[in-house]
Homo-oligomer: A and B are copies of this chain.
Amino acid sequence: MVLHDLDTFSKKYKQLLDRELKHLVEELNAPSIIKESMIYSLEAGGKRIRPLLLFATLDAFGAAPENGLAAAAAVEMIHTYSLIHDDLPSMDNDDLRRGKPTNHKVFGDAIATLAGDALLTYSFEVINKIPNDAAAPSVKLNVIIEMAKAAGAEGMVGGQVADMEGEEKTLTLEELEYIHIHKTGKLLRFSVLAGAILAGASQSQIDNLSQFAHHLGLAFQIQDDILDLTGNQQMLGKPVGSDTANHKSTYPQLLSLDGAQAALQKHIVQAKGYLAETGLNTNLLLEITDLVATRNH
C-alpha cells in the first residue's frame, strides 16, 4: 500500500481520464458533428470530483485505480450529459458554463440534445470496457444497474424535476434535501459505490461507504450554498449571490449562515465517521472530504 498525496494522485488520474474520455468518443463510428459536440463538453473541464472519488475508493481497498478508468469515464459522461441538458433554453437557459459558451450555444439546441443522449447511452456501453480480469460480467452488470438507478427518475433526473418544481417557492429543509440528495448526491454516491463494487467490497463496507458518500454529497451542496453567499466571484467563476437573485432556496436561507456552517460540519464529521468504520486505508477519501469542507470554489 503506497501512501499518496491527493494532489499528485488527482493530477495523474485526471490526466488519464481526460485522455480516455477523448479516446472513447474519437473511436466512435458516428457523424463528426456529434463527436465534436460530445468532446466539447467533456473537455469543458470541471473538478472531475466523481471520477476522483471512484479512483480514491479503489485506492482505499489497495486495488489499482486504473481498473476503474472505464467506470470513471462513464460517470463523467453522465455528469456531462446532465449539464448539457440542464443548460438548454427549455431548462436553465444558460449561455455560459465555466466561462465557456454552453454546448447548445456552439452546436445548436438539437445537436446539444442529441450529444447529451449519446453520452448517456454510451456510458452504459463504456462500463463493459472495464478489463475482464478486473470485473466479472455479474460485477459489470451490477455497476450498470447502480449507475442507471443513480442517474434516472429515482436519482438525478428525479432531483432535477423536483428542483424545477421547487423554483420560485420557498422549500422546506426536507424538500431541499430531497433535491440535493437526488440531483447531485446519487451520482456522487454511485462513484464511491462503483469503486467499492469493483474492489469486491463486503456488504458492510458498501453500506458504510454509501453513508459516507451521502454525507459528503450533502456537505458539498451546503458548501456550494455558503460560497454563493460568502465566496469570491473570481475564485467561483460565477457571480456571488446568484441564488438569492434567482430566489433559490438554500441552506443559509433556511438555517441562517451559522446554521448552514454547523450543518456542514455535522455532515463532514458523519462522513468521516462512516469512513473510519470501513477499516480501509482511507487517507485520500479523507483528504477529499476536507477539501469539500474548505474549498473556496
- Complex CA gap A140/B139 in Å reads 12
Determine which of B31, B124, B154, B165 lies in contact with A158 in the assembled complex, contact meaning CB atoms within 8 Å: B31
- Number of A interface residues in the complex (CB < 8 A): 50
Residue of B nearest to A111 (CB): B161
Instruction: Annotate A134-167 by CB proximity to B: 1 below 8 A, 0 otherwise.
Output: 0011101100110111011110011011101100
Q: Is there an interface contact between A152 and B121, defined as CB atoms closer than 8 Å?
A: yes
Chain B residues with Cβ below 8 Å from A128 are: 141, 144-145
Chain B residues with Cβ below 8 Å from A85 are: 113-114, 117
Chain B residues with Cβ below 8 Å from A141 are: 128, 137, 140-141, 144
Q: Which of A30, A121, A157, A165 has the most CB of B within 10 A?
A: A121
Residue of B nearest to A126 (CB): B148
- Complex CA gap A116/B137 in Å reads 28
| Copies of this chain present | 2
Supply 20 A–B pairs (Cβ within 8 Å), ascending by A: A30-B157, A30-B158, A33-B161, A38-B153, A88-B113, A89-B90, A90-B108, A90-B113, A111-B161, A113-B113, A114-B161, A116-B117, A120-B120, A121-B157, A124-B145, A124-B148, A125-B145, A128-B144, A137-B141, A140-B141
Residue of B nearest to A148 (CB): B125
Min CB gap A187→B, angstroms: 11
Q: Which are the 5 A-B pairs with shortest beta-carbon distances? A: A90-B109, A121-B152, A137-B138, A125-B148, A30-B153
Chain B residues with Cβ below 8 Å from A35 are: 153
- Complex CA gap A125/B123 in Å reads 13
Judged by a CB distance under 8 angstroms, whether A110 is at the interface is yes
Judged by a CB distance under 8 angstroms, whether A240 is at the interface is no
Residue of B nearest to A34 (CB): B161
Chain B residues with Cβ below 8 Å from A152 are: 28, 117-118, 121-122, 125
